[in-house]
Structure 1
Amino acid sequence: MPWFGQLKGVVFSVKIGYKSLCEDPQARESDSESAEVHRSMWKDVWRLNVLVKIKHFLWKSCTNLLPTKENLLKKTIISENVCHLCSEHLEDVIHAMWGCTKVRQVWQRSFGWLDHNLIAEGSFPNLVRLVQTKPSVFPLFAVMAWAVWHHCLRQRLPLARSVVGAIKWRPPSENVVKINFDGALFRELDCAGLGVVICNSEGLVLVALSEKIMKPQTAELVEILAARRAVLFSIETGFHNSVFEGDSTSSCSFSNVGRQDNAVAHALAQRARLSVPLKDWTLACRYAEDTEDVIDVSGLMTYLLVCSSSSKST
């Protein structure tokens, strides 16, 4: 609607333009029917007797907010938008959930009364409106659509999951020790903990450290202090031919691994909450005296878990 400055001396604003549109009889007449249909659709969606996450999923589907390949390509996250299931069509919302030849059989039994090919050329909101004409099957449709979409994601992401989980703790090469370190912040106690564990090429624990310190200002500083303590600990214990490994991506340039692959150092840092006195360098030695076993990473982890649970129970 063009602005011709009907009101002299009034500067155009979004508010004035909105009011002008609302007062325009022609605009109200053209929009009233579609707006009513839209409101009716959303009322039925939010009244569904399904999990809230499925209602949110329908909302995202109808507003094209799902991470389909079409949307990911628009954001330059991926380089192609072809459906990875059928390799025949671009993956938008209606194709991923309904039009793909690999998912048609899922819908055939309960929704065979819908014209599959015609709907595949339309939009997902139009499909929702058609299903809403039979309220008894609308909850089933919502759950099935959610399951189909997550199946699509699982088929698309196995490679990404394997890459993320590919880094695992590995023993160092011969004549080298690996030093894992981590830090933990205990805000409620106004202190922090540092954990360091040194292992040889066979994965056996040589010595470990759990130390409580005064609380630094940030979590990043805790990780930096843990890295510094690991270097000092290697000098104090005489292990000079060392590689260092931690799970912080922002504190330093040592080798980075996931939290699960730095579990022993993390558990030592957490155990510092219970350390009295502040330093506990004899942890590994006490474990050996108690069990008379060779100390390895898994054994030390078990010991730490037992110590933690017994301390909580007392």
Structure 2
Amino acid sequence: MGSGTWKHELVKQLLLSHEAEVIGGIPLSANPQEDKQIWALTTTSLFSVRSAYWIAMEGMSNGGSTTVSNDGSQRKCWKYLWSINLPHKVRHFAWRACRDILPTKENLKRRKVLVDSCCEACHLEAESSGHLFWHCSSAKEVWRATKLFSGLMNSPFSSFMDLMWYVIMVAKWGNEEVEKILMIAWVMWMNRNKARHGGEKKSSEALFDFALEYLREYQLCCELPAVAQTKEYPKWHPPPMKHGKKIVASLGAVETEAKAFEFGLQFARDMLIHDFVLEGDSLVVVNALKETSPPPALVAVLSNVRSLAHGFRNVKFSHIGRQGNRPAHLLAKHAYGIADFSVWIEEDHCFLEEALLHNVFVAFS
């Protein structure tokens, strides 16, 4: 700074772009003076533990980090993060990442859990949130694949909070871009955890594609039209406690529905399920299963269904209208695009989460 002007290129290299812009606007004295450190929170310009303590307590009471901007802006940022259209687990991840409380290797070393904090992907730096989601070569590959940060790849974001602060509060990107960034970061974190425990480390393109597909399916589910308040549709109720499982038959024409019951029984047999309720939305098929003389077109299939049913301890056939079981309807539509046999056990696919929350009624005693 001997020339009496800022070294703008050096400032831009060391600081974030918006910080460099603010610093560059600070006028310099015409009379060169020796540089010195000043603590702006005391009248003496000297650091005190007391002032630092009050700053820390104020930040904690506002539920935000004390490292960026003022408290009002922090509250605005947090409110925005919690309101975007993402699954709750992704928003919770974003909050933890911004607060720097994810179990990164650097945080685990700080808590005496690990001895080594070196990043396992590049082996160049400590695995902090800033390194993991921005500076690491693996992270750079993912962001390049997204093309979201064109012209910003060399920005010195030191933490995940710095990255999100720039995107939300400084550049003011739209919801669609912010949602993509957080979903991609969450997928990166999940893949990092799987790889650490012996799982497959996916390519940057695979991570990007999976994140966009997951986001698309979730938001499509959220766009389902709300059921009009004036019309009451039946709610699905779980089977009695003695029946441990429920198998949903696919939707379709009558013959297809009957065949779906047959496949449902075969699946239950393969999974060693002995007590269950088999549901479908075809009243014709359900009634035919309860009668001794089904319609001629269904005789062959229903005869096989009854034969299979005798091999179980307790099987009941039940009818529920399509509007009464929205998740089953969505599942049937999803099946049109699946070529292979797919099974989910003890978990729900993302596109079913919202439908299950709004459609399934479970009574607790």
Greater C-alpha Rg? 1
Of Structure 1 and Structure 2, the greater strand share is in: 1
TM-score (norm 1): 0.41
Normalised by the size of structure 2, how large is the TM-score?
Answer: 0.36
